[in-house]
């Protein structure tokens, strides 16, 4: 069965500091990995997908199949990055449903 | 941007009652999924519909049921409500599988 683990419930960093959100997964096959973000009083929205290998709002994430990880990183955190972040996976073996981690709350202090 | 509208936004029901939640989109899509998000947790997959047929279900009892209509709107029905059904219910649509889902703002259901 597929599983997504986000070990940190809360990450508190100062503005301008690097931030890394950890995500580990278990899945049989080739997963599709995503990061979703939920800002205060807004809907859950897609931040980035591993297959597009893109950088969104300064965030990047690299899929490491050996370590089964998909950590999200940003070199210089901004106050507007304060939000709830969810790692999620999908794939054919999972019926293309999204399996989410428990989420990490990021608080960027001025 | 593809908008996803869920109604109602908030709902209070009594244990044992039945509830219907609705989801609609401004554009066509072939896949709609429903998720339950309890307080402090990530969304949990309930089921998914593809071209009006259920094509995936999570670990939820049969009293959770759904429909997808030809106009791509969707419903989530929950019978015999229990207190633990209190949660935020999210609808998500996808135009291309594994491209990523667009979520609605959710319906906050409180069962008392």
Residue from the list B48, B99, B103 with its beta carbon closest to the beta carbon of A44: B103
End-to-end, the C-alpha distance of chain A in Å comes to: 41
Q: Locate A7 and state its tokens.
A: 């070990």
Residues 6-45 of A with CB under 8 A from B: 6, 32, 34, 36, 43-45
pLDDT tier for residue B72 given thresholds of 50, 70 and 90? confident
pLDDT tier for residue B11 given thresholds of 50, 70 and 90? very high
- Say if residue A66 is exposed, middle or buried (CB neighbours under 10 Å; 0-12, 13-18, 19+): exposed
Q: Which of A53-62, B32-41, B48-57 has the highest mean pLDDT?
A: B32-41
Predicted local confidence at residue A50, as pLDDT: 84
Return d(Cα B83, Cα B102) in angstroms, integer: 28
- Say if residue B45 is exposed, middle or buried (CB neighbours under 10 Å; 0-12, 13-18, 19+): buried
- Other CB atoms within 10 A of residue B7 CB: 13
Give the mutation candidate from B3, B4, B39, B42 for the A interface (greatest A CB count, under 10 A).
Answer: B42
Identify the bridge partners of residue B71 per DSSP, sorted by sequence position. none
- Whether B25 and B4 have beta carbons less than 8 Å apart is answered as yes
> Is the pLDDT at A93 greater than 80, yes or no?
no
Give the mutation candidate from B2, B3, B43 for the A interface (greatest A CB count, under 10 A).
Answer: B43
Give residue-wise pLDDT tens across range A46-69. Answer: 999 887 777 788 999 988 989 999
Return d(Cα A33, Cα A29) in angstroms, integer: 12
Predicted local confidence at residue B105, as pLDDT: 94
Q: CB of B105 within 8 Å of any CB in chain A?
A: yes
Whether A100 sits inside 8 A of B43 (CB atoms) is yes
Predicted local confidence at residue B90, as pLDDT: 97
Mean pLDDT for the stretch of residues B47-55: 88
> Percentage of residues in chain B with pLDDT exceeding 70?
91
């Amino acid at each position: 069965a597929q599983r997504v683990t986000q070990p940190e419930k809360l990450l508190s960093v100062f503005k301008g500091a690097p931030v890394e959100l950890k995500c580990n997964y278990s899945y049989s096959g080739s997963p599709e990995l995503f990061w979703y973000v939920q800002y205060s009083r807004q809907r859950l929205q897609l931040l980035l997908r591993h297959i597009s290998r893109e950088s969104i709002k300064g965030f990047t994430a690299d899929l490491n199949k050996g370590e089964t990880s998909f950590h999200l990183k940003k070199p210089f955190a901004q106050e507007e990055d304060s939000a709830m972040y969810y790692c999620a996976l999908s794939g054919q073996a999972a019926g293309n449903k999204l399996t989410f981690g428990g989420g990490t709350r990021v608080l960027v202090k001025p | 941007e593809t908008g996803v509208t869920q109604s109602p936004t908030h709902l209070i029901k009594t244990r044992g009652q039945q509830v219907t939640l609705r989801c609609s989109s401004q554009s066509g899509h072939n896949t709609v999924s429903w998720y339950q998000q309890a307080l402090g947790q990530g969304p949990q997959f309930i089921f998914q519909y593809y071209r009006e047929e259920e094509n995936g279900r999570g670990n939820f009892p049969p009293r959770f049921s759904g429909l997808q209509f030809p106009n791509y709107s969707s419903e989530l029905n929950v019978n015999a409500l229990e207190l633990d059904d209190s949660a935020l219910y999210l609808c998500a649509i996808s135009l291309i599988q594994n491209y990523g889902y667009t979520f609605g703002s959710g319906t906050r259901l409180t069962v008392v």
